[in-house]
Amino acid sequence: MLRDLQTQFRVGLLGGDAAPALASIENDVITPAQRFGIYRNNVLGSLAGALAAAFPVIERLVGERFFRAAARSFVQQSPPTVPQLLAYGDGFPAFLEAFPPAQSVRYLGDVGRLEWGRVDSMFAADAPALEPSALTSLPPEALADLLFAAHPATRLIRSAQFPIHTIWQVNQPSNPDPRPVDPGLGAEAVLVTRPGLAVETNPVTPGDAVFVQCLLQQQPLAAAAEAALGAEPDFDLQGALAAHLGRGTFSRVMQASR
């Protein structure tokens, strides 16, 4: 009985037939339809607000009115599946890519993935970052076969077409007068890490993006470096490793089995 009532309310709240839910609401000073409408607006507004908190740059790019309309449509299509607002929103970038009114702003999905990567990184599990001594203590001949385990908070977001970091950086809520960004500037990749309590967002070169992607896929260091050089002939392996150790990109290393 309770499950049926909950299902009726869920259907009505998300835009379906509200009649079964209304039948369970007592008629008082305001009608069941008015009472239910208030509750529905509160629920949809709260979930849209949670999305606005997770995607402030997207909201700034499209404006509050457009964002709220898109967010409410997303909520009705993809309501939360777990009782935790912080975990809600991972499907929003893909929704924006398919949302008909947003088709003229084709970079929204990739910028949204960057924003969600930051949220995901913030609430990822804690773990010690890989210390430089873990590499300096190894003999040189052992380095080629090393495998790197990503820190739980590491996220690599790559756009195949758009300058997502530039768009994200220019449109920060703290920037009072953002300049227009030409979406044709070219593809950008972004590494999101959390070496301490704060999330860091850094653009990476094409070679470094390939390098990190290979290591995240558990390819050994030598293979990752070779792939990076193929994407960027002047890729600096030593400099990239030093930067990643400083950013806390990885948590440990291990020797590949032969």
- Rounded to whole angstroms, the Cα distance separating 124 from 116 reads 12
The domain segmentation of the chain, as residue ranges, is 1-105, 125-258
Residue 33 and residue 17 in contact, taking contact as beta carbons nearer than 8 Å? no
86: pLDDT confidence band, cut at 50, 70 and 90?
confident
164: pLDDT confidence band, cut at 50, 70 and 90?
very high
106: pLDDT confidence band, cut at 50, 70 and 90?
very high
At residue 258, the pLDDT reads 59
Residue 170 and residue 181 in contact, taking contact as beta carbons nearer than 8 Å? yes
Calculate the alpha carbon distances from 258 to 54, 215, 255 in Å. 44, 17, 9
3 state SS of 228:
helix
254: pLDDT confidence band, cut at 50, 70 and 90?
confident
Which percentage of the chain shows pLDDT scores above 70? 83
At residue 221, the pLDDT reads 96
Which sign, positive or negative, has the C-alpha torsion 162, 208, 112, 97?
positive
Residue among 144, 135, 139, 141 at smallest CA distance from 223 = 144
At residue 39, the pLDDT reads 60
Q: Is the pLDDT of residue 62 over 60?
A: yes
pTM for this entry? 0.87
